[in-house]
Amino acid sequence: MSWMLCVDTSTMISCVALGHSGKFIAGISSEARSHGPGIMVSIQNVLSEAGISHHQLEMVVASRGPGTFTGVRIGMTTQKTLSWSLNIPFYEITTFDIYRKHPDISVENPCVLIDARRNECYTDWTPNGEKSPRLVSPLEIVKLLENEKDWFLTGSGIESYSNEFSSLLLPGKYSSDNRITPEMLFSAGWKRYEQGKVDNAVTSEPLYIRPSDAEINLRNRVITPLIKR
Share of the chain above pLDDT 70, in %: 90
d(CA 218, CA 205): 22
Task: Determine the angle formed by the axes of helices 69-86 and 36-50, rounding to 10 degrees.
Answer: 50
Pairing of strands 13-20, 23-31: antiparallel
Q: How confident is the model at residue 216 (pLDDT cuts 50, 70, 90)?
A: low
Report the 10 Å Cβ neighbour count for 225. Answer: 5
Mean pLDDT within 66-86: 94
Summary mean pLDDT of the chain: 91
Q: What is the structure's pLDDT at 112? A: 98
Report the 10 Å Cβ neighbour count for 210. Answer: 16
**pLDDT of 200 above 60:** yes
Domain ranges in the chain are: 3-96+180-211, 106-160
Q: What is the structure's pLDDT at 228? A: 46
d(CA 96, CA 205): 16
Lowest mean pLDDT among 31-35, 38-42, 198-202: 31-35
d(CA 225, CA 142): 47
**What pTM, to 2 d.p., does this model score?**
0.91
Does the domain at 3-96+180-211 match CATH 1.20.210.10? Answer given as: no
Q: Which residue has the higher pLDDT, 70 or 20?
A: 20
**pLDDT of 221 above 80:** no
Which residues in 21-174 belong to E strands, given as ranges?
Answer: 23-31, 59-63, 90-93, 111-112, 114-117, 120-123, 134-136, 153-154
Q: Partners of 6 in the beta sheet?
A: 17, 61
DSSP 3-state of 120: strand
